[in-house]
Amino acid sequence: MKILKKISYNTPTILTFTIAAFIVTTFSHFTNGFLDKTFFSVYDASFLNPLTYVRLFGHVLGHASFEHFIGNFLIILLVGPMLEEKFGSKNLAYMILLTAGVTGIIYMLFFQDVALMGASGIAFMLILLSPFANVERGKIPLTLIVVVILYFGREIYSGMFDSDNIAQSAHLIGGICGAVFGYFLSNRANYRSAAK
């Protein structure tokens, strides 16, 4: 029991996001994907359907399998806590929601033949946000340029030459969101205090 008292819910945004996605993935598994199709994937371009607005943000909670979930959340749990400490829980929650919404809208409008689900766009957002965690104000970190070349290069190559059911465009959208968030947050004077 003493060990349990020492465990800290140290990154509420990342941990809550992880737990929510795990619960959705688990229940969806037991409903043969019914929950994913109904609430946690983007595939319908009808803005008249009320569930469309749930799916726009909820798609980051749905995963096709536990392997898919683990692949995304290993990255999120490794990178996310450092970024939540740096940029604040509220800011990171807003970034996750905004990235989910932007990705969902783009997929609804331009990729209607594909159902989008999973948190890989969020993982890429965090990856491209991470070089800004220790950069001087007004500077563009060289590590960002290297990460962009490596990750975007791989995703563009995979999108052109692989047929693997992976949404490379969602990765690219998430990465662009992360770089934009990082640039603007690193240029704000008191972003840390504003996040509290």
Overall average pLDDT of the 129-135 stretch: 81
Q: What is the mean pLDDT of the chain?
A: 82
Q: Which residues contact 107 (CB under 8 A, 6 or more apart)?
A: 42, 114, 116, 167, 169, 170
Buried b (16+ CB within 10 A) or exposed e, 134-155: ebeeeeebeebeebbeebbeeb
Instruction: Give residue-wise pLDDT tens across range 175-194.
Output: 889 988 988 887 664 444 44
In the chain, % helix, strand, coil (3-state, to 5) comes to: 70, 0, 30
Q: Is the pLDDT of residue 137 over 80?
A: no
Name the most confidently modeled range: 9-23, 32-46, 114-128, 159-173.
Answer: 9-23
Q: Which residues contact 162 (CB under 8 A, 6 or more apart)?
A: none
What is the pLDDT at residue 159?
Answer: 58
Overall average pLDDT of the 30-38 stretch: 85
Instruction: Give residue-wise pLDDT tens across range 56-95.
Output: 899 999 998 899 999 999 999 999 999 999 899 999 999 9
What is the pLDDT at residue 119?
Answer: 92
**What's the alpha-carbon Rg for the chain, to the nearest Å?**
17
What is the pLDDT at residue 194?
Answer: 45
Higher pLDDT, 39 or 45: 39
Instruction: Transcribe 90-123 into DSSP letters.
Output: HHHHHHHHHHHHHHHHHHHHH-TTS-B-SSHHHH
pLDDT tier, 35 (very low <50, low <70, confident <90, very high otherwise): confident
- Whole-structure pTM value: 0.81
Q: Is the pLDDT of residue 139 over 60?
A: yes
Residue listed under structure tokens 């929650």: 93
